[in-house]
A and B are shown apart, each in its own frame.
Chain A
């Protein structure tokens, strides 16, 4: 006779993911990453509880983010929600979390300059994404820059930092262009890039606009619109494997991305993660920084609950700083000074398969600096340049 196993007590966990809408493809991989982690916690005897996923899909619509959050917090009495992708969606819902004294686990890289007591910031901060990217690009490609972004705070603030770094280096932004979220009519952008001949392009476009830019750009290159001159590389802090899968095959290679995670990271933890993800979601599915981040958020929350013995918001917040997690990217841990995350910055160049080949990687997780308090435009940028390597630079050159 087998003893029936007692089901573990379930803790409701909100998953606020836009699995449809302009960035629906990214949302689907986020949700899949969270669900994988929820299954792992349920199966792991080291945890005497399981999470019960309560899924809400705002479809990328800001108004829906508010409604779905209210439903999660009020109707379903959920106190922990992993969710949001864009900063505009986060800013819509943070006041609701503060009022309900619930906790939002925000898993996306973002522009910083925020630190709510009711948010745990699991994505990377500006010192972990834009600073490494700018340092590398200035040292390799030059300091005449073309920027194009989706018209909201992620692009505005990222471009402000990029401008500061570039102008400190004696260079300049040749143009700073914004288009509405979801805009795909970007032929004029390609024409302007060809006319201005920048050293590199920095894009903060998201979703469908990213795909349109990469496709149109590849078409212009194939037509020979750049003539004999060099083709400026496209760089981004939010270009992932998921989006590369959705662009034309000839538009995938040669772009530079700054990210704390790439599917190509060669480590036992990441191989196990990718294997488990593909077993669950299909052998052709890809993982990205957004997948990993939602996955990490579940594991960090689970470890904090285990450490303090409760899902109580205040107790979890107090405990989470002492609960590191060996994530696919390497160790991640929450900084109790600002509730952002120690993460490992990396730069990767995309290939024709839509994967990233590592170019540079930090040696160890970097303390988050969401307000760029400790940022020094000269010192920190130079640390990421390839031609001025210092013995004390916290880097490992991969290629």
Chain B
């Protein structure tokens, strides 16, 4: 059975930062037609950001919106409502990490497109960010893995390939990543035996293979 492929925005929470005018009115009506719950504000207070899924903001506002995350990697998806297609405005929006644009004057068409684009690009960005974090952690733990490898080679008189194979098989038995296993070995929490890891105490040490 396949999950629903139809993107459903029903129930998503929108923060709409725009002065009360026709553009805001048209957008609010269209978002409500899509089943979304909409909070309209001229500018955002700190408490407005909790529990929000996506934010539309006025990129032409005289006073630029300040977002609470203070970086160009927003915590929630941003869509800029833009009237002036000037390089300065567009660059500022992109630098703020917007995932999509809605051109003013706002019409009912274009909103669904912007939301679909956000669904794709913001989620993709989050996925890539998570993958990058994981890779960075791995790079950081290379020294530890190397130490654990040396320890294993010495302990069992194995060559590098054999030692790595042993670490790999123990990590599978223990349901641990190679990196986490290496930390446990180097810290002395998980003494290795020929059969695998020795059973000792609580935590990950419990899960040695019998």
Partners in one complex: yes
Residues of A near any B CB (own CB < 8 A)? 98, 113-117, 160-161, 163-164, 167-168, 170, 337-338, 371-375, 377
Query: 8 tightest A-B contacts by CB?
Result: A373-B35, A167-B2, A115-B108, A373-B10, A164-B5, A338-B33, A164-B6, A377-B4
Q: Which of A163, A168, A337, A374 has the most CB of B within 10 A?
A: A168
Show 10 A/B contacts (Cβ-Cβ < 8 Å), sorted by A: A98-B107, A115-B30, A115-B33, A116-B109, A164-B6, A371-B33, A371-B34, A373-B34, A375-B6, A375-B8
Residue from B6, B30, B108 within 8 A of A372 (CB atoms)? B6
Q: Check B6–A116 contact: CB distance below 8 A.
A: no
Q: Does residue B26 face the partner (Cβ distance < 8 Å to A)?
A: yes
Q: Check A117–B108 contact: CB distance below 8 A.
A: yes
- Return B25 CB to nearest CB of chain A, in Å: 11
Q: Check A371–B112 contact: CB distance below 8 A.
A: yes
Q: Does residue B20 face the partner (Cβ distance < 8 Å to A)?
A: no
Q: With a CB–CB cut-off of 8 A, which chain B residues contact A373? A: 8-10, 33-35
Chain A, residue nearest B26 (CB): A117
Q: Check A116–B33 contact: CB distance below 8 A.
A: no
Chain B, residue nearest A117 (CB): B108
Q: With a CB–CB cut-off of 8 A, which chain B residues contact A371? A: 33-35, 112
Q: Count of chain B residues with Cβ under 8 Å from any Cβ of A?
A: 18
Q: Check A113–B10 contact: CB distance below 8 A.
A: no
Give Cα distance in the complex from A377 to B1, angstroms: 12
Chain B, residue nearest A115 (CB): B108
Interface contacts beyond A116-B108, A167-B2, A371-B35: sample of 12 additional A-B pairs, CB < 8 Å, sorted by A? A114-B109, A115-B30, A161-B6, A164-B6, A167-B5, A168-B4, A371-B33, A371-B34, A373-B9, A373-B10, A373-B33, A373-B34
Residues of B near any A CB (own CB < 8 A)? 1-2, 4-6, 8-10, 26, 30, 32-35, 107-109, 112
Q: Check B10–A168 contact: CB distance below 8 A.
A: no
Give Cα distance in the complex from A176 to B4, angstroms: 19
Residue from B4, B33, B112 within 8 A of A337 (CB atoms)? B33
Query: Chain A binding site: helix, strand, loop or mixed by DSSP?
Result: loop
- Return A108 CB to nearest CB of chain B, in Å: 18
Query: Chain B binding site: helix, strand, loop or mixed by DSSP?
Result: loop
Q: With a CB–CB cut-off of 8 A, which chain B residues contact A117? A: 26, 107-108
Give Cα distance in the complex from A169 to B162, angstroms: 49
Give Cα distance in the complex from A375 to B10, angstroms: 10
Q: Check A374–B10 contact: CB distance below 8 A.
A: yes
Chain A, residue nearest B4 (CB): A377
Give Cα distance in the complex from A337 to B33, angstroms: 7
Q: With a CB–CB cut-off of 8 A, which chain A residues contact B9? A: 373
- Return B143 CB to nearest CB of chain A, in Å: 47
Give Cα distance in the complex from A170 to B1, angstroms: 5
Chain B, residue nearest A370 (CB): B33
- Return B8 CB to nearest CB of chain A, in Å: 7
Q: With a CB–CB cut-off of 8 A, which chain B residues contact A170? A: 1
- Return A153 CB to nearest CB of chain B, in Å: 13
- Return B71 CB to nearest CB of chain A, in Å: 33
- Return A76 CB to nearest CB of chain B, in Å: 25
Q: With a CB–CB cut-off of 8 A, which chain B residues contact A372? A: 6, 8
Q: Check A164–B10 contact: CB distance below 8 A.
A: no
Q: Check A374–B2 contact: CB distance below 8 A.
A: no
Give Cα distance in the complex from A337 to B29, angstroms: 8
Are A168 and B2 also in contact (CB < 8 A) when A338-B33, A373-B35 are? yes
Q: With a CB–CB cut-off of 8 A, which chain B residues contact A161? A: 6
- Return B60 CB to nearest CB of chain A, in Å: 21
- Return A90 CB to nearest CB of chain B, in Å: 12
Q: With a CB–CB cut-off of 8 A, which chain B residues contact A163? A: 5
Q: With a CB–CB cut-off of 8 A, which chain A residues contact B109? A: 114-116
Give Cα distance in the complex from A374 to B36, angstroms: 11
Give Cα distance in the complex from A117 to B109, angstroms: 10
Q: Check A168–B1 contact: CB distance below 8 A.
A: yes
Chain B, residue nearest A114 (CB): B109
Chain B, residue nearest A338 (CB): B33
Give Cα distance in the complex from A163 to B10, angstroms: 21
Are A164 and B33 also in contact (CB < 8 A) when A373-B10, A374-B10 are? no
Q: With a CB–CB cut-off of 8 A, which chain A residues contact B107? A: 98, 116-117
Give Cα distance in the complex from A317 to B5, angstroms: 34
Give Cα distance in the complex from A374 to B35, angstroms: 8
Q: Check B34–A164 contact: CB distance below 8 A.
A: no
- Return A182 CB to nearest CB of chain B, in Å: 28
- Return A82 CB to nearest CB of chain B, in Å: 20
- Return A334 CB to nearest CB of chain B, in Å: 14
Chain B, residue nearest A163 (CB): B5
Chain B, residue nearest A376 (CB): B4
Give Cα distance in the complex from A113 to B7, angstroms: 12
- Return B12 CB to nearest CB of chain A, in Å: 11
Q: With a CB–CB cut-off of 8 A, which chain B residues contact A377? A: 4, 6
Chain A, residue nearest B113 (CB): A113
Give Cα distance in the complex from A353 to B130, angstroms: 63
Give Cα distance in the complex from A167 to B1, angstroms: 7
Q: Check A113–B112 contact: CB distance below 8 A.
A: yes
Q: With a CB–CB cut-off of 8 A, which chain A residues contact B2? A: 167-168
- Return A126 CB to nearest CB of chain B, in Å: 10
- Return A251 CB to nearest CB of chain B, in Å: 34
- Return A95 CB to nearest CB of chain B, in Å: 9
